[in-house]
Structure 1
Amino acid sequence: MNLKIAALLLFALCAQPAWSASYSTAAPAAKPAESAALNTRLALRDLWVEHIFWVRSYAVANQAGNTKQAAVAANEVVADATKIANSIAPLYGQPAADQLLKLLAGHWGAIKHYSDATVAKDKKGQQAAVDELTSNAKAIAAFLAKANPYLPEPTLLTLLSAHGGHHVAQIDQLAAGDYTGEARTWAMMREHILTLSDALAGALVKQFPDKF
């Protein structure tokens, strides 16, 4: 991988996550190119897991009426989305990163809308939020598919729609006090977000083989 691109990408991805050390120890014979691709994959995983963690934190705080905790969680969701968006800047440019951030902001806005409507027991507001989430998933899928030929739009839409569905189910279960059900949703949500982030990382490596 080109050293300049590698440095920029890994810096934008906010450094190697903690568990990457144990992963690389298990495969000491990895070639430099393989290590660059692996580090990118693990860094993206870390960022996307943070996304679902902080969104859940917001939903819990919001339903408990803890406005201070909810505000902190909301700020972390935005900060994480900014890191995710900026992670593509070294390869696609800052304008593309800015566009992705707008789309991710739309994703978060729809989830927040659903959470707030759930607290208010506003059924119409919940449906409007689901419609926003669906529309946003289509927009993100179209954007990423246009940017990378290794990300088919129908596949992306399926992945993103399922991701949005997990958010909705989780918020509903928390509101109903169904913590056992929410624990199952969290497990599925985490596995699914790893699948999504791995698809994104794999597509980057395929599209830019000279940089990895």
Structure 2
Amino acid sequence: MKTRLFVALLLAALCAFPALSPAAQPAAPAAESAALTTRLALRDLWVEHIFWIRNYVIANQAGNRQQADVASQEVVSNATAIANSIAPLYGQPAADQLLKLLAGHWGAVKQYSDASVGNSAKDKQAAVADLTSNAKALAKFLATANPYLPEATLNTLLAAHGGHHIAQIDELGKKDYKAEATTWKHMREHILALADALTAALVKQFPDKF
């Protein structure tokens, strides 16, 4: 019921934009529509993740505490939305556990950003270690929950994602905006691929829901 409601709400939101409205497109099977809507929803959530973290990094380096605080709050809000998106399928305890892991990911990225501003090599190294450890924990959690998500593959994807955060922070700190633009492009493409992989695994594991 919660999954159907989730899909229905997302379809309603899409209908607010005529060019994207399902009604403006040829009719598709319900299962395909549900899977597509979930794919688009997860893509949007994960792109917001990198968008708000980038906003935090820029504000943090500029010394704009008000902007940084708002961006930080949005990162947490987004992480909560990502975690709660799995609750209809895996239950709220699993969603809560995912939120803790996402909080660990954000905490490590934030620590690296803050350490970069403070020019603390020791804190940056600690942040990288935490980010690496968190990627392994996230991969294990997701692979345990879904047999269609290989742990080794997930760890590679998540480690690369963490590497994008680090590269972006370093490039923005050096004011190498051209390099950061390239990193952002790769980061966005990578996070979309990750979101698509999660959606595909969900559809395979819960065919009756899609």
Q: In which range does the TM-score fall when normalised by the shorter chain?
A: over 0.9
Q: Specify whether residues 23 and 190 from structure 1 end up closer, same or farther in structure 2 by C-alpha distance, changes over 3 A only.
A: farther
By how many angstroms is 1:30 displaced?
1.7
**Equivalent residue in structure 2 for 1:61, among 59, 62, 66:** 59
By how many angstroms is 1:5 displaced?
2.6
Q: Specify whether residues 139 and 123 from structure 1 end up closer, same or farther in structure 2 by C-alpha distance, changes over 3 A only.
A: same
**Equivalent residue in structure 2 for 1:168, among 142, 166, 170:** 166
Residue aligning to 1:45: 43
Amino acid aligned to 2:40: L
By how many angstroms is 1:28 displaced?
1.7
By how many angstroms is 1:18 displaced?
7.7
Residue aligning to 1:123: 121
Residue aligning to 1:158: 156
| Structure 1 contact 16–43 (Cα < 8 Å) conserved | no
CA distance in structure 1 between the partners assigned to 2:169 and 2:150 by the alignment: 29
Amino acid aligned to 2:157: L
| Structure 1 contact 148–207 (Cα < 8 Å) conserved | yes
- Structure 1 position 201 matched with structure 2 position 199: yes
Residue aligning to 2:69: 71
CA distance in structure 2 between the partners assigned to 1:87 and 1:46 by the alignment: 12
Residue aligning to 1:190: 188
SS in structure 1 at match of 2:20: helix
| Structure 2 contact 2–88 (Cα < 8 Å) conserved | no
**Equivalent residue in structure 2 for 1:103, among 76, 80, 101:** 101
Paired residues in the alignment total 210
CA distance in structure 1 between the partners assigned to 2:117 and 2:154 by the alignment: 30
| Structure 1 contact 59–115 (Cα < 8 Å) conserved | yes
Q: Specify whether residues 173 and 21 from structure 1 end up closer, same or farther in structure 2 by C-alpha distance, changes over 3 A only.
A: same
Amino acid aligned to 2:106: W
Structure 1 segments unaligned to the other structure (5+ residues)? none
Amino acid aligned to 2:196: D
Amino acid aligned to 1:33: A
The structure whose RCO (Cα within 8 Å, separation 6+) is larger is: 1
| Structure 2 contact 47–191 (Cα < 8 Å) conserved | yes
Q: TM-score, normalised by structure 2?
A: 0.93
CA distance in structure 2 between the partners assigned to 1:20 and 1:48 by the alignment: 24
Q: TM-score, normalised by structure 1?
A: 0.93
Cα RMSD over matched residues? 2.3
By how many angstroms is 1:22 displaced?
2.7
SS in structure 1 at match of 2:32: helix
By how many angstroms is 1:181 displaced?
0.2
Q: Following superposition, which runs of at least 4 residues in structure 1 exceed 6 angstroms of deviation?
A: 17-20
- Structure 1 position 93 matched with structure 2 position 99: no
By how many angstroms is 1:61 displaced?
0.1
